[in-house]
Amino acid sequence: MKQRKDSSTSLEQAALGKTILQKLSTIEDLLKRKDDKPLTFKDACAYLGYAPSYLYKLTYKSIVPHYKPTGKIIFFSKNELDEWIFRSSDKCRVISDELKTEDGSAALTTRDPNQIEMDLSEEVLIEFPLKSRRKK
């Protein structure tokens, strides 16, 4: 009889713990939304510390979360920018930790996919035609 009571109380405690966690996550979401406000492009540049040209590049490549409600003016969510910053830094930390060797020094174990490997065993001569600057 005691085992049934113990198992039922542990199930009730587990269910209570789940509801408490759900309520806490709801409260966290509400607190995040309270501080959230839309930022204009200039505000986002100032907040992130980026040059306007670089932020335009990030929005063009859809790297940074942004909104264009009218199709022209760009807006940003402060909370989404914060999440993007911390998500990006976590990925960089993981990659840099993977590149470290046992003695603590950094070693490149992976190649950059944007770099092209060239065979330089043969010498190649490239000639460019020169235009005369004299007026005829």
The reported pLDDT for the residue numbered 40 is 92
Contact status, residue 113 vs residue 72, Cβ threshold 8 Å: no
The reported pLDDT for the residue numbered 41 is 92
Contact status, residue 74 vs residue 43, Cβ threshold 8 Å: no
64: which residues sit within 8 A by CB, 6+ positions away?
55, 58, 76, 81, 84
For residues 78, 37, 31, 55, the Cα torsion angle rounded to the nearest 10 degrees is -10
Contact status, residue 14 vs residue 47, Cβ threshold 8 Å: no
The reported pLDDT for the residue numbered 49 is 92
Could you tell me which residues are beta bridge partners of residue 39?
A: 76
Closest to 100 (Cα-Cα) out of 114, 86, 110: 110
Over its length of 136 residues, how does the chain's per-residue pLDDT go in tens digits?
555 556 667 778 777 888 888 888 888 877 777 777 889 999 999 999 999 999 999 999 999 999 998 888 999 998 889 889 888 665 555 445 555 555 555 555 456 666 666 666 677 676 766 666 666 5
The burial class, CB within 10 Å (0-12 / 13-18 / 19+), for 102 is exposed
pTM score of the predicted model: 0.46
What ranges do the domains of the chain cover? 1-35, 36-103
98: which residues sit within 8 A by CB, 6+ positions away?
109
H-state helical runs in 49-77: 52-60
Could you tell me which residues are beta bridge partners of residue 76?
A: 39
The reported pLDDT for the residue numbered 68 is 92
Which amino acid does the sequence have at 3?
A: Q
